[in-house]
Amino acid sequence: MKATLPPLPALAIGRYRHYKGQEYEIFALCRHSETEEVLVFYRPLYGDSGWWVRPYDMFTGTLEVDGEVKKRFEYIG
């Protein structure tokens, strides 16, 4: 691990809607202990499936759905 890490990117903490319609709560950004990859720490707001992490680049990325480019997760508050 580097002695000084670069700052984490900005990402609003709060609720997000996945492009498929389900809602999630984002708690923090963190780093992978081995690779230093930035991860998003979150949980689904449905069911009881626990806590998850997803790579920041994937979380904030876009994808094409039915010919339309959409954000994977959209901030809703």
Those residues whose C-beta lies under 8 Å from the C-beta of residue 7, and which sit 6 or more positions away, are none
For the chain, domains (ranges, CATH) are 12-54 (2.30.30.320)
- pLDDT the model gives residue 14: 97
Judged against a pLDDT cut of 80, whether residue 1 lies above it is answered with no
Q: What is the DSSP letter of 61?
A: -
Give the model confidence (pLDDT) of 28-75 as tens digits: 999 999 999 999 999 999 988 899 999 999 999 999 999 999 999 999
Give, for 46, the enclosing helix (H) or strand (E). none
- pLDDT the model gives residue 3: 74
- pLDDT the model gives residue 2: 62
- pLDDT the model gives residue 70: 96
Dist CA 59 CA 40 (whole Å): 7
Those residues whose C-beta lies under 8 Å from the C-beta of residue 19, and which sit 6 or more positions away, are 63, 65, 70, 71, 72, 73, 74
Q: What is the mean pLDDT of residues 8-29?
A: 97
